Chains A and B, each alone.
Chain A
Amino acid sequence: MIQERDELAAGKPCLVTHELSAFFGQSRVVSNVTIDFRDREVTAIIGPSGCGKSTMLRCLNRMHETVPGASATGTVTLDGTDIYAPGADPIAVRRHVGMVFQRPTPFPTMSIRDNVAAGLKILGRGAPRGSDVEDIVEGALRHAGLWDEVKDRLGESAIALSGGQQQRLCIARALAIRPRVILLDEPTASLDPLSTQKVEELVYQLKQDIAVVIVTHNMQQAARVSDRTAFLLMGDLIETAPTNTLFTAPTDPRTEAYITGRFG
Protein backbone atom coordinates (compact mmCIF):
# COMPACT_ATOMS: atom_id res chain seq x y z
CA MET A 1 0.00 0.00 0.00
CA ILE A 2 2.81 2.42 0.78
CA GLN A 3 4.40 3.71 -2.34
CA GLU A 4 8.00 4.71 -1.96
CA ARG A 5 9.69 6.12 -5.00
CA ASP A 6 12.81 7.96 -6.03
CA GLU A 7 14.84 8.82 -3.00
CA LEU A 8 15.82 12.43 -2.53
CA ALA A 9 19.44 12.98 -1.76
CA ALA A 10 18.81 15.65 0.87
CA GLY A 11 18.46 13.88 4.14
CA LYS A 12 18.80 10.66 6.05
CA PRO A 13 15.76 9.41 7.94
CA CYS A 14 15.89 10.82 11.45
CA LEU A 15 12.36 10.21 12.74
CA VAL A 16 10.98 6.84 11.70
CA THR A 17 7.66 5.20 12.57
CA HIS A 18 7.02 1.50 12.26
CA GLU A 19 3.49 0.07 12.36
CA LEU A 20 2.34 3.10 14.36
CA SER A 21 -1.28 2.97 15.46
CA ALA A 22 -3.09 5.48 17.63
CA PHE A 23 -6.26 5.00 19.64
CA PHE A 24 -8.79 7.05 21.55
CA GLY A 25 -10.16 4.46 23.94
CA GLN A 26 -11.08 1.52 21.72
CA SER A 27 -11.38 3.42 18.46
CA ARG A 28 -8.40 3.35 16.16
CA VAL A 29 -7.69 6.65 14.42
CA VAL A 30 -4.28 5.86 12.94
CA SER A 31 -3.55 2.38 11.54
CA ASN A 32 -0.13 0.82 11.11
CA VAL A 33 1.64 3.81 9.66
CA THR A 34 5.22 3.21 8.62
CA ILE A 35 6.96 6.32 7.37
CA ASP A 36 10.24 8.14 7.75
CA PHE A 37 10.84 11.84 8.16
CA ARG A 38 14.19 13.02 6.92
CA ASP A 39 16.76 15.44 8.11
CA ARG A 40 16.71 18.85 6.40
CA GLU A 41 13.50 18.07 4.60
CA VAL A 42 9.95 19.27 4.93
CA THR A 43 7.42 16.46 4.96
CA ALA A 44 3.80 17.46 4.53
CA ILE A 45 0.97 15.28 5.78
CA ILE A 46 -2.24 15.90 3.87
CA GLY A 47 -5.68 14.33 4.00
CA PRO A 48 -9.31 15.18 4.59
CA SER A 49 -10.55 16.40 8.00
CA GLY A 50 -10.63 13.70 10.62
CA CYS A 51 -8.24 11.40 8.77
CA GLY A 52 -5.84 11.25 11.73
CA LYS A 53 -3.22 13.73 10.50
CA SER A 54 -2.96 15.65 13.75
CA THR A 55 -3.19 12.51 15.88
CA MET A 56 -0.35 10.93 13.95
CA LEU A 57 1.71 14.10 14.37
CA ARG A 58 1.02 14.11 18.11
CA CYS A 59 2.33 10.54 18.36
CA LEU A 60 5.71 11.77 17.13
CA ASN A 61 6.45 13.72 20.32
CA ARG A 62 4.26 11.67 22.66
CA MET A 63 1.69 14.44 23.02
CA HIS A 64 -1.05 12.05 21.95
CA GLU A 65 -0.93 10.22 25.27
CA THR A 66 -1.61 13.40 27.26
CA VAL A 67 -5.27 13.12 26.25
CA PRO A 68 -7.19 10.92 28.73
CA GLY A 69 -7.88 7.50 27.22
CA ALA A 70 -5.47 7.94 24.33
CA SER A 71 -2.82 5.33 23.53
CA ALA A 72 -0.43 4.34 20.76
CA THR A 73 1.23 1.11 19.59
CA GLY A 74 4.16 0.44 17.29
CA THR A 75 7.51 2.16 17.38
CA VAL A 76 8.80 5.63 16.64
CA THR A 77 12.55 6.03 16.56
CA LEU A 78 14.44 9.30 16.76
CA ASP A 79 17.99 8.87 15.44
CA GLY A 80 17.66 5.17 16.11
CA THR A 81 16.29 5.39 19.67
CA ASP A 82 12.75 4.16 20.27
CA ILE A 83 10.86 7.01 21.93
CA TYR A 84 8.15 4.60 23.03
CA ALA A 85 10.59 2.15 24.64
CA PRO A 86 9.81 1.30 28.28
CA GLY A 87 11.62 3.85 30.39
CA ALA A 88 11.81 6.43 27.61
CA ASP A 89 11.01 9.83 29.11
CA PRO A 90 8.29 11.70 27.18
CA ILE A 91 9.64 15.00 28.53
CA ALA A 92 13.06 14.33 27.00
CA VAL A 93 11.37 13.34 23.74
CA ARG A 94 9.48 16.62 23.60
CA ARG A 95 12.67 18.60 24.09
CA HIS A 96 14.06 17.03 20.94
CA VAL A 97 10.85 17.08 18.92
CA GLY A 98 9.31 20.55 19.08
CA MET A 99 5.72 21.33 18.23
CA VAL A 100 3.68 24.32 17.08
CA PHE A 101 -0.08 24.26 17.14
CA GLN A 102 -2.91 25.42 14.95
CA ARG A 103 -3.67 28.43 17.11
CA PRO A 104 -0.84 30.57 18.49
CA THR A 105 -0.25 29.70 22.14
CA PRO A 106 2.00 32.37 23.65
CA PHE A 107 2.08 32.24 27.44
CA PRO A 108 -0.05 35.29 28.30
CA THR A 109 1.66 36.04 31.60
CA MET A 110 5.13 36.19 30.08
CA SER A 111 6.95 38.87 28.12
CA ILE A 112 8.11 38.23 24.56
CA ARG A 113 11.59 37.46 25.85
CA ASP A 114 10.35 35.10 28.56
CA ASN A 115 8.15 33.28 26.07
CA VAL A 116 11.12 32.47 23.88
CA ALA A 117 13.21 31.54 26.92
CA ALA A 118 10.41 29.47 28.48
CA GLY A 119 11.81 26.16 27.28
CA LEU A 120 15.33 27.02 28.43
CA LYS A 121 14.43 27.60 32.06
CA ILE A 122 13.45 24.01 32.60
CA LEU A 123 16.58 22.41 31.18
CA GLY A 124 17.83 21.91 34.74
CA ARG A 125 21.54 21.95 35.43
CA GLY A 126 22.51 22.57 31.83
CA ALA A 127 20.19 25.56 31.54
CA PRO A 128 21.86 28.62 30.00
CA ARG A 129 22.07 31.75 32.14
CA GLY A 130 22.44 35.50 31.85
CA SER A 131 23.78 36.76 28.55
CA ASP A 132 23.64 33.25 27.07
CA VAL A 133 19.86 33.38 27.39
CA GLU A 134 19.79 36.78 25.66
CA ASP A 135 21.88 35.39 22.81
CA ILE A 136 19.66 32.33 22.40
CA VAL A 137 16.50 34.46 22.49
CA GLU A 138 17.90 36.78 19.84
CA GLY A 139 19.05 33.85 17.72
CA ALA A 140 15.68 32.10 17.91
CA LEU A 141 13.77 35.31 17.13
CA ARG A 142 16.06 36.05 14.18
CA HIS A 143 15.65 32.50 12.97
CA ALA A 144 11.87 32.90 13.18
CA GLY A 145 12.09 36.20 11.29
CA LEU A 146 10.58 38.13 14.17
CA TRP A 147 13.62 39.88 15.63
CA ASP A 148 13.33 43.15 13.72
CA GLU A 149 9.67 43.46 14.65
CA VAL A 150 10.09 42.89 18.39
CA LYS A 151 13.69 43.78 19.30
CA ASP A 152 12.63 47.07 20.90
CA ARG A 153 9.88 45.60 23.03
CA LEU A 154 11.16 42.27 24.31
CA GLY A 155 9.84 43.09 27.76
CA GLU A 156 6.27 43.63 26.63
CA SER A 157 3.51 41.10 26.92
CA ALA A 158 3.42 38.51 24.16
CA ILE A 159 -0.32 38.85 23.71
CA ALA A 160 0.14 42.37 22.35
CA LEU A 161 1.54 40.82 19.16
CA SER A 162 -0.60 40.10 16.11
CA GLY A 163 -1.76 36.55 15.38
CA GLY A 164 0.93 35.98 12.77
CA GLN A 165 3.62 37.38 15.04
CA GLN A 166 2.38 35.21 17.90
CA GLN A 167 2.66 32.13 15.72
CA ARG A 168 6.22 33.01 14.72
CA LEU A 169 6.92 33.66 18.40
CA CYS A 170 5.73 30.13 19.15
CA ILE A 171 8.05 28.80 16.47
CA ALA A 172 10.91 30.80 17.98
CA ARG A 173 10.03 29.36 21.39
CA ALA A 174 10.20 25.85 19.97
CA LEU A 175 13.50 26.60 18.21
CA ALA A 176 15.18 28.06 21.30
CA ILE A 177 15.74 24.61 22.80
CA ARG A 178 17.31 23.42 19.53
CA PRO A 179 15.06 20.49 18.63
CA ARG A 180 16.07 17.81 16.12
CA VAL A 181 12.62 17.86 14.53
CA ILE A 182 9.83 20.42 14.55
CA LEU A 183 6.20 19.42 14.14
CA LEU A 184 3.80 22.01 12.74
CA ASP A 185 0.12 21.23 13.19
CA GLU A 186 -1.72 23.37 10.63
CA PRO A 187 0.41 26.36 11.68
CA THR A 188 -1.30 28.80 9.31
CA ALA A 189 -4.91 27.69 9.71
CA SER A 190 -5.79 30.72 11.84
CA LEU A 191 -3.64 33.25 10.00
CA ASP A 192 -4.27 35.77 7.20
CA PRO A 193 -2.57 35.28 3.79
CA LEU A 194 0.32 37.63 4.50
CA SER A 195 1.15 35.99 7.84
CA THR A 196 0.76 32.61 6.16
CA GLN A 197 3.33 33.59 3.59
CA LYS A 198 5.79 34.62 6.30
CA VAL A 199 5.35 31.33 8.13
CA GLU A 200 5.83 29.42 4.89
CA GLU A 201 9.05 31.31 4.20
CA LEU A 202 10.10 30.45 7.72
CA VAL A 203 9.43 26.76 7.10
CA TYR A 204 11.80 26.97 4.16
CA GLN A 205 14.44 28.45 6.47
CA LEU A 206 13.90 25.81 9.12
CA LYS A 207 14.72 22.90 6.86
CA GLN A 208 18.23 24.22 6.38
CA ASP A 209 18.99 22.82 9.83
CA ILE A 210 16.37 20.35 10.98
CA ALA A 211 13.60 18.04 9.91
CA VAL A 212 10.17 19.63 9.57
CA VAL A 213 6.84 17.81 9.57
CA ILE A 214 3.84 19.93 8.64
CA VAL A 215 0.22 18.88 8.80
CA THR A 216 -1.99 20.87 6.48
CA HIS A 217 -5.39 20.58 4.88
CA ASN A 218 -4.27 23.06 2.27
CA MET A 219 -2.86 21.15 -0.70
CA GLN A 220 -1.39 24.26 -2.29
CA GLN A 221 0.53 24.85 0.89
CA ALA A 222 1.83 21.29 0.90
CA ALA A 223 2.90 21.73 -2.72
CA ARG A 224 4.62 25.03 -1.91
CA VAL A 225 6.58 24.16 1.18
CA SER A 226 7.28 20.44 1.27
CA ASP A 227 9.88 18.15 -0.24
CA ARG A 228 7.84 15.04 0.36
CA THR A 229 4.16 14.53 0.96
CA ALA A 230 2.27 11.79 2.73
CA PHE A 231 -1.42 11.24 2.05
CA LEU A 232 -3.48 9.93 4.95
CA LEU A 233 -7.05 8.66 4.60
CA MET A 234 -9.17 7.29 7.42
CA GLY A 235 -6.05 6.62 9.47
CA ASP A 236 -4.30 4.71 6.69
CA LEU A 237 -1.17 6.01 5.01
CA ILE A 238 -2.12 5.74 1.35
CA GLU A 239 0.97 7.09 -0.33
CA THR A 240 4.26 8.83 0.36
CA ALA A 241 6.27 10.39 -2.41
CA PRO A 242 8.34 13.42 -3.33
CA THR A 243 5.87 16.28 -3.46
CA ASN A 244 6.21 16.90 -7.18
CA THR A 245 5.59 13.26 -7.94
CA LEU A 246 2.64 12.93 -5.59
CA PHE A 247 0.86 15.93 -7.02
CA THR A 248 1.60 15.22 -10.70
CA ALA A 249 1.62 11.45 -10.93
CA PRO A 250 0.05 9.82 -7.88
CA THR A 251 0.14 6.04 -7.85
CA ASP A 252 -3.00 5.36 -5.87
CA PRO A 253 -6.39 6.25 -7.38
CA ARG A 254 -7.55 7.56 -3.98
CA THR A 255 -4.66 10.02 -3.87
CA GLU A 256 -5.54 11.17 -7.33
CA ALA A 257 -9.19 11.53 -6.37
CA TYR A 258 -8.25 13.64 -3.34
CA ILE A 259 -5.74 15.95 -4.98
CA THR A 260 -8.01 16.57 -7.94
CA GLY A 261 -10.74 17.58 -5.52
CA ARG A 262 -13.17 14.74 -5.99
CA PHE A 263 -13.59 14.37 -2.21
CA GLY A 264 -12.41 15.90 1.04
Chain B
Amino acid sequence: MSALRRRKAGNIVMLALTYVAAVLATLPLLFILFHLLQQGASTLTPDFFTNMPRPVGEAGGGMSNAIVGTLILLGIACIIGLPVGVGAGLYLAEKRVGALAMTVRFLSDVLNGLPSIVLGIFAWQFLVRPFGRFSALAGGIALGAMMIPLVTRTTEEMIRLVPNSLREAALALGYPRWRTSLSVILRTAMPGIVTGALVAIARIAGETAPLLFTAFGNAFWSTALDEPIAALPLQIFAYAISPYDEWHAQAWAGALVLIVIVLIISLAARHATRARFGSAAD
Protein backbone atom coordinates (compact mmCIF):
# COMPACT_ATOMS: atom_id res chain seq x y z
CA MET B 1 0.00 0.00 0.00
CA SER B 2 2.73 2.42 0.91
CA ALA B 3 4.54 1.49 -2.29
CA LEU B 4 1.51 2.62 -4.25
CA ARG B 5 1.35 5.84 -2.29
CA ARG B 6 5.04 6.46 -2.92
CA ARG B 7 4.52 5.92 -6.63
CA LYS B 8 1.61 8.34 -6.66
CA ALA B 9 3.66 10.94 -4.82
CA GLY B 10 6.53 10.41 -7.25
CA ASN B 11 4.13 10.84 -10.12
CA ILE B 12 2.87 14.14 -8.78
CA VAL B 13 6.40 15.44 -8.16
CA MET B 14 7.59 14.52 -11.64
CA LEU B 15 4.47 15.97 -13.23
CA ALA B 16 5.01 19.22 -11.34
CA LEU B 17 8.63 19.32 -12.46
CA THR B 18 7.66 18.92 -16.13
CA TYR B 19 5.10 21.71 -15.74
CA VAL B 20 7.78 23.97 -14.28
CA ALA B 21 10.16 23.04 -17.10
CA ALA B 22 7.47 23.73 -19.71
CA VAL B 23 6.79 27.16 -18.22
CA LEU B 24 10.50 27.94 -17.92
CA ALA B 25 10.99 27.00 -21.57
CA THR B 26 8.45 29.54 -22.77
CA LEU B 27 9.31 32.19 -20.20
CA PRO B 28 12.29 33.76 -22.07
CA LEU B 29 10.23 34.16 -25.24
CA LEU B 30 7.31 35.69 -23.40
CA PHE B 31 9.65 38.00 -21.50
CA ILE B 32 11.39 39.11 -24.71
CA LEU B 33 8.11 39.69 -26.52
CA PHE B 34 6.70 41.66 -23.60
CA HIS B 35 9.84 43.77 -23.28
CA LEU B 36 10.00 44.43 -27.02
CA LEU B 37 6.36 45.50 -27.09
CA GLN B 38 6.92 47.74 -24.13
CA GLN B 39 10.02 49.40 -25.57
CA GLY B 40 9.29 49.33 -29.29
CA ALA B 41 5.54 49.60 -29.76
CA SER B 42 5.42 53.37 -29.24
CA THR B 43 7.98 53.96 -32.00
CA LEU B 44 6.24 51.50 -34.30
CA THR B 45 4.05 53.83 -36.34
CA PRO B 46 3.10 53.32 -39.99
CA ASP B 47 5.93 55.75 -40.73
CA PHE B 48 8.41 53.23 -39.41
CA PHE B 49 7.61 50.92 -42.34
CA THR B 50 7.42 53.55 -45.06
CA ASN B 51 10.02 56.15 -44.11
CA MET B 52 13.76 56.22 -44.46
CA PRO B 53 15.99 56.74 -41.43
CA ARG B 54 16.27 60.40 -40.46
CA PRO B 55 19.32 62.18 -39.12
CA VAL B 56 19.74 62.45 -35.36
CA GLY B 57 17.60 65.20 -33.88
CA GLU B 58 14.85 64.90 -36.47
CA ALA B 59 11.73 63.26 -35.11
CA GLY B 60 10.15 60.25 -36.81
CA GLY B 61 11.76 58.30 -39.55
CA GLY B 62 11.72 54.58 -40.10
CA MET B 63 13.59 51.59 -41.37
CA SER B 64 11.86 50.92 -44.68
CA ASN B 65 15.20 50.34 -46.37
CA ALA B 66 16.32 47.83 -43.74
CA ILE B 67 13.00 45.96 -43.78
CA VAL B 68 13.10 45.61 -47.57
CA GLY B 69 16.80 44.81 -47.42
CA THR B 70 16.25 41.97 -44.94
CA LEU B 71 13.48 40.52 -47.11
CA ILE B 72 15.76 40.65 -50.18
CA LEU B 73 18.60 39.00 -48.27
CA LEU B 74 16.27 36.27 -46.99
CA GLY B 75 14.99 35.76 -50.53
CA ILE B 76 18.50 35.26 -51.92
CA ALA B 77 19.35 32.95 -49.01
CA CYS B 78 16.25 30.84 -49.67
CA ILE B 79 16.94 30.59 -53.39
CA ILE B 80 20.34 29.12 -52.54
CA GLY B 81 19.70 27.35 -49.26
CA LEU B 82 16.37 25.59 -49.88
CA PRO B 83 17.06 23.68 -53.13
CA VAL B 84 20.60 22.72 -52.12
CA GLY B 85 19.58 21.81 -48.57
CA VAL B 86 16.50 19.80 -49.51
CA GLY B 87 18.36 18.07 -52.35
CA ALA B 88 21.29 17.15 -50.13
CA GLY B 89 18.94 15.98 -47.38
CA LEU B 90 17.04 13.79 -49.84
CA TYR B 91 20.32 12.32 -51.04
CA LEU B 92 21.50 11.58 -47.49
CA ALA B 93 18.19 10.01 -46.48
CA GLU B 94 17.94 7.80 -49.57
CA LYS B 95 21.61 6.86 -49.69
CA ARG B 96 22.21 6.34 -45.95
CA VAL B 97 25.57 4.58 -46.27
CA GLY B 98 28.56 5.09 -48.55
CA ALA B 99 31.65 7.25 -48.43
CA LEU B 100 30.10 10.31 -50.05
CA ALA B 101 27.01 10.25 -47.82
CA MET B 102 29.13 9.89 -44.68
CA THR B 103 31.39 12.74 -45.78
CA VAL B 104 28.52 15.05 -46.67
CA ARG B 105 26.77 14.30 -43.38
CA PHE B 106 29.93 14.98 -41.38
CA LEU B 107 30.80 18.17 -43.25
CA SER B 108 27.28 19.46 -42.96
CA ASP B 109 27.46 18.96 -39.19
CA VAL B 110 30.74 20.84 -39.12
CA LEU B 111 29.28 23.64 -41.24
CA ASN B 112 26.32 23.73 -38.88
CA GLY B 113 28.61 24.36 -35.94
CA LEU B 114 30.75 26.92 -37.77
CA PRO B 115 30.64 30.31 -36.04
CA SER B 116 28.73 32.67 -38.31
CA ILE B 117 31.47 35.30 -38.13
CA VAL B 118 33.85 32.82 -39.76
CA LEU B 119 31.36 32.29 -42.54
CA GLY B 120 31.14 36.05 -42.94
CA ILE B 121 34.91 36.34 -43.30
CA PHE B 122 34.92 33.62 -45.94
CA ALA B 123 32.13 35.32 -47.83
CA TRP B 124 34.12 38.55 -47.70
CA GLN B 125 37.23 36.76 -48.98
CA PHE B 126 35.51 35.15 -51.97
CA LEU B 127 32.51 37.35 -52.74
CA VAL B 128 33.50 40.84 -51.69
CA ARG B 129 37.26 41.24 -52.10
CA PRO B 130 37.49 39.95 -55.69
CA PHE B 131 34.79 42.40 -56.80
CA GLY B 132 35.99 45.27 -54.70
CA ARG B 133 32.58 46.10 -53.24
CA PHE B 134 30.13 45.02 -50.56
CA SER B 135 26.94 43.65 -52.06
CA ALA B 136 23.49 42.29 -51.23
CA LEU B 137 24.36 39.21 -53.23
CA ALA B 138 27.38 38.43 -51.05
CA GLY B 139 25.25 38.83 -47.90
CA GLY B 140 22.47 36.65 -49.29
CA ILE B 141 24.94 33.94 -50.32
CA ALA B 142 26.54 33.98 -46.87
CA LEU B 143 23.11 33.56 -45.26
CA GLY B 144 22.22 30.85 -47.79
CA ALA B 145 25.40 28.96 -46.90
CA MET B 146 24.32 29.10 -43.26
CA MET B 147 20.94 27.75 -44.20
CA ILE B 148 22.18 24.76 -46.20
CA PRO B 149 23.32 22.51 -43.31
CA LEU B 150 20.25 23.34 -41.23
CA VAL B 151 17.89 22.45 -44.06
CA THR B 152 19.96 19.41 -45.07
CA ARG B 153 19.83 17.78 -41.67
CA THR B 154 16.15 18.48 -40.94
CA THR B 155 15.21 17.25 -44.43
CA GLU B 156 17.17 14.05 -43.85
CA GLU B 157 15.54 13.50 -40.47
CA MET B 158 12.05 14.18 -41.79
CA ILE B 159 12.47 11.89 -44.80
CA ARG B 160 13.71 9.11 -42.54
CA LEU B 161 10.49 9.37 -40.57
CA VAL B 162 8.51 8.40 -43.69
CA PRO B 163 7.76 4.69 -43.26
CA ASN B 164 9.52 2.38 -45.68
CA SER B 165 6.16 0.76 -46.44
CA LEU B 166 5.15 3.89 -48.39
CA ARG B 167 8.29 3.64 -50.51
CA GLU B 168 7.52 -0.01 -51.20
CA ALA B 169 3.90 0.77 -52.03
CA ALA B 170 4.99 3.29 -54.65
CA LEU B 171 7.63 0.99 -56.13
CA ALA B 172 5.10 -1.85 -56.28
CA LEU B 173 2.79 0.42 -58.30
CA GLY B 174 5.50 0.75 -60.91
CA TYR B 175 6.91 4.08 -59.76
CA PRO B 176 10.52 4.63 -60.84
CA ARG B 177 12.81 5.28 -57.92
CA TRP B 178 13.25 9.03 -58.57
CA ARG B 179 9.50 9.46 -58.88
CA THR B 180 8.99 7.57 -55.62
CA SER B 181 11.41 9.91 -53.89
CA LEU B 182 9.85 13.08 -55.27
CA SER B 183 6.12 12.46 -55.42
CA VAL B 184 5.69 10.15 -52.45
CA ILE B 185 8.57 10.39 -49.99
CA LEU B 186 9.35 14.10 -50.29
CA ARG B 187 5.66 15.02 -50.40
CA THR B 188 4.90 13.01 -47.29
CA ALA B 189 7.81 14.59 -45.45
CA MET B 190 6.93 18.09 -46.70
CA PRO B 191 5.24 19.50 -43.58
CA GLY B 192 8.31 18.58 -41.53
CA ILE B 193 10.67 19.94 -44.17
CA VAL B 194 8.71 23.21 -44.33
CA THR B 195 8.93 23.51 -40.57
CA GLY B 196 12.66 22.83 -40.73
CA ALA B 197 13.08 25.45 -43.46
CA LEU B 198 11.17 27.96 -41.34
CA VAL B 199 13.38 27.31 -38.37
CA ALA B 200 16.37 27.86 -40.66
CA ILE B 201 14.92 31.11 -42.03
CA ALA B 202 14.18 32.30 -38.52
CA ARG B 203 17.72 31.43 -37.51
CA ILE B 204 19.35 33.39 -40.32
CA ALA B 205 16.87 36.30 -40.30
CA GLY B 206 18.51 37.64 -37.18
CA GLU B 207 22.11 36.88 -38.16
CA THR B 208 24.33 39.92 -38.01
CA ALA B 209 27.87 38.58 -38.18
CA PRO B 210 27.79 37.17 -41.75
CA LEU B 211 26.39 40.48 -43.01
CA LEU B 212 28.97 42.75 -41.35
CA PHE B 213 31.47 42.49 -44.19
CA THR B 214 29.17 41.35 -46.98
CA ALA B 215 25.86 43.25 -47.16
CA PHE B 216 27.52 45.88 -44.97
CA GLY B 217 24.39 47.94 -44.42
CA ASN B 218 23.27 51.05 -46.24
CA ALA B 219 21.92 54.32 -44.90
CA PHE B 220 20.14 54.93 -48.18
CA TRP B 221 17.48 53.20 -50.21
CA SER B 222 18.95 50.42 -52.32
CA THR B 223 17.55 47.26 -53.78
CA ALA B 224 20.43 46.63 -56.18
CA LEU B 225 21.97 43.21 -55.69
CA ASP B 226 25.49 44.42 -56.44
CA GLU B 227 25.35 47.31 -53.97
CA PRO B 228 25.61 47.33 -50.18
CA ILE B 229 22.15 46.82 -48.73
CA ALA B 230 20.56 47.69 -45.40
CA ALA B 231 19.38 44.89 -43.13
CA LEU B 232 17.38 44.96 -39.91
CA PRO B 233 19.97 43.21 -37.72
CA LEU B 234 22.72 45.58 -38.94
CA GLN B 235 20.51 48.60 -38.43
CA ILE B 236 19.50 47.43 -34.95
CA PHE B 237 23.15 46.88 -34.11
CA ALA B 238 24.18 50.31 -35.38
CA TYR B 239 21.35 52.09 -33.61
CA ALA B 240 21.65 50.18 -30.35
CA ILE B 241 25.32 51.08 -29.87
CA SER B 242 24.68 54.71 -30.74
CA PRO B 243 24.50 57.31 -27.93
CA TYR B 244 21.10 58.71 -29.02
CA ASP B 245 17.85 57.91 -27.21
CA GLU B 246 15.67 58.19 -30.31
CA TRP B 247 17.93 55.73 -32.12
CA HIS B 248 17.62 53.34 -29.18
CA ALA B 249 13.84 53.50 -29.51
CA GLN B 250 14.22 52.84 -33.24
CA ALA B 251 16.39 49.82 -32.47
CA TRP B 252 13.68 48.38 -30.19
CA ALA B 253 11.07 48.90 -32.86
CA GLY B 254 13.36 47.27 -35.43
CA ALA B 255 13.80 44.24 -33.19
CA LEU B 256 10.03 43.99 -32.82
CA VAL B 257 9.59 44.14 -36.60
CA LEU B 258 12.24 41.45 -37.06
CA ILE B 259 10.38 39.09 -34.74
CA VAL B 260 7.06 39.86 -36.37
CA ILE B 261 8.53 39.12 -39.83
CA VAL B 262 9.68 35.70 -38.61
CA LEU B 263 6.27 35.10 -37.06
CA ILE B 264 4.44 36.03 -40.26
CA ILE B 265 6.65 33.75 -42.36
CA SER B 266 5.91 30.85 -40.01
CA LEU B 267 2.18 31.41 -39.96
CA ALA B 268 1.91 31.85 -43.73
CA ALA B 269 3.86 28.69 -44.48
CA ARG B 270 1.94 26.66 -41.91
CA HIS B 271 -1.27 27.82 -43.49
CA ALA B 272 0.06 26.90 -46.93
CA THR B 273 0.99 23.35 -45.92
CA ARG B 274 -2.28 22.79 -44.14
CA ALA B 275 -4.35 23.98 -47.08
CA ARG B 276 -2.67 21.50 -49.42
CA PHE B 277 -3.82 18.49 -47.43
CA GLY B 278 -7.46 19.47 -47.38
CA SER B 279 -9.88 19.64 -44.52
CA ALA B 280 -9.60 15.97 -43.58
CA ALA B 281 -6.06 16.38 -42.32
CA ASP B 282 -7.22 18.67 -39.53
Q: Which chain A positions have C-beta within 8 A of B166?
A: 105, 107-108
B280 contacts which of A61, A107, A156 (Cβ < 8 Å)? Answer: A156
B165-A157 in contact (CB<8A): no
A156-B280, A157-B277 as given contacts; A173 in contact with B173, CB under 8 Å: yes
A105-B280 in contact (CB<8A): no
Q: How far is the CA of A108 from the CA of B188 in the complex (A)?
A: 7
Q: How many whole Å from B98's CB to the nearest CB in chain A?
A: 11
Answer yes or no: B168 CB below 8 A from chain A CBs: yes
Q: How far is the CA of A118 from the CA of B170 in the complex (A)?
A: 9
A91-B176, A173-B173 as given contacts; A105 in contact with B278, CB under 8 Å: no
A92-B174 in contact (CB<8A): yes
A101-B176 in contact (CB<8A): no
A170-B169 in contact (CB<8A): yes
A63 contacts which of B171, B277, B279 (Cβ < 8 Å)? Answer: B171
Q: Within A93-143, which residues are at the interface with B (CB < 8 Å)? A: 94-95, 98-99, 101, 103, 105, 107-109, 111, 118-119, 122
Q: How many whole Å from B161's CB to the nearest CB in chain A?
A: 12
Q: Report the count of interface residues on B (CB-CB < 8 A).
A: 22
Q: How many whole Å from A118's CB to the nearest CB in chain B?
A: 6
Q: Which chain B positions have C-beta within 8 A of A156?
A: 278-280
B169, B179, B184, most chain A CB atoms within 10 A: B169
A108-B188, A122-B179 as given contacts; A61 in contact with B279, CB under 8 Å: no
Q: How far is the CA of A153 from the CA of B278 in the complex (A)?
A: 11
Q: How far is the CA of A109 from the CA of B275 in the complex (A)?
A: 11
B174 contacts which of A66, A91, A103 (Cβ < 8 Å)? Answer: A91
A105 contacts which of B169, B175, B176 (Cβ < 8 Å)? Answer: B169
B165, B173, B190, B279, most chain A CB atoms within 10 A: B173
Answer yes or no: A85 CB below 8 A from chain B CBs: no
Answer yes or no: B241 CB below 8 A from chain A CBs: no
Q: Top 10 nearest A-B pairs by Cβ distance?
A: A157-B280, A105-B169, A95-B174, A99-B172, A156-B280, A119-B173, A94-B174, A160-B280, A109-B187, A105-B165
Q: How many whole Å from A138's CB to the nearest CB in chain B?
A: 19
B277 contacts which of A103, A109, A174 (Cβ < 8 Å)? Answer: A109
Answer yes or no: A33 CB below 8 A from chain B CBs: no
Q: Which chain A positions have C-beta within 8 A of B4?
A: none
Answer yes or no: B281 CB below 8 A from chain A CBs: yes
Answer yes or no: A155 CB below 8 A from chain B CBs: yes
Answer yes or no: A233 CB below 8 A from chain B CBs: no
Answer yes or no: A238 CB below 8 A from chain B CBs: no
Answer yes or no: A146 CB below 8 A from chain B CBs: no
B188-A122 in contact (CB<8A): no
B278 contacts which of A157, A173, A177 (Cβ < 8 Å)? Answer: A157
B174-A177 in contact (CB<8A): yes
Q: Which chain B positions have C-beta within 8 A of A61?
A: 172
Number of chain A interface residues as a range:
20 to 34
Interface of chain A: mostly helix, strand, loop or mixed: mixed
Q: How far is the CA of A122 from the CA of B188 in the complex (A)?
A: 18
B172 contacts which of A63, A111, A122 (Cβ < 8 Å)? Answer: A63
Q: How many whole Å from A179's CB to the nearest CB in chain B?
A: 9
B165-A122 in contact (CB<8A): no
Q: How many whole Å from B137's CB to the nearest CB in chain A?
A: 35
Q: How many whole Å from A106's CB to the nearest CB in chain B?
A: 8
B174-A157 in contact (CB<8A): no
Besides the known contacts A108-B188, A109-B184, A119-B175, 6 further A-B residue pairs in the complex with CB atoms under 8 A apart: A66-B171, A105-B165, A107-B184, A119-B173, A122-B176, A153-B280
Q: Which chain A positions have C-beta within 8 A of B276?
A: 109
B168 contacts which of A63, A107, A159, A174 (Cβ < 8 Å)? Answer: A63
A155-B278, A157-B277 as given contacts; A109 in contact with B173, CB under 8 Å: no
Q: How far is the CA of A91 from the CA of B172 in the complex (A)?
A: 8
A-B contact pairs, 7 of them (CB 8 A): A94-B171, A98-B173, A107-B169, A108-B166, A118-B173, A119-B174, A159-B280
Q: How many whole Å from A16's CB to the nearest CB in chain B?
A: 20
Q: Which chain A positions have C-beta within 8 A of B173?
A: 94-95, 98, 118-119, 122, 173-174, 177
B165, B171, B174, B277, most chain A CB atoms within 10 A: B174
Q: How far is the CA of A26 from the CA of B179 in the complex (A)?
A: 31
A101-B169 in contact (CB<8A): yes
A63-B172, A119-B174 as given contacts; A101 in contact with B165, CB under 8 Å: yes
Q: Which chain A positions have C-beta within 8 A of B174?
A: 91-92, 94-95, 119, 122, 177
Q: Within B229-282, which residues are at the interface with A (CB < 8 Å)? A: 276-281
Q: How far is the CA of A68 from the CA of B189 in the complex (A)?
A: 22
Q: Which residue of chain A has the shortest Cβ distance to B167 in the bound complex?
A: A66
A105, A118, A160, most chain B CB atoms within 10 A: A105
Q: Which chain B positions have C-beta within 8 A of A98?
A: 172-173
Q: How far is the CA of A119 from the CA of B172 in the complex (A)?
A: 9
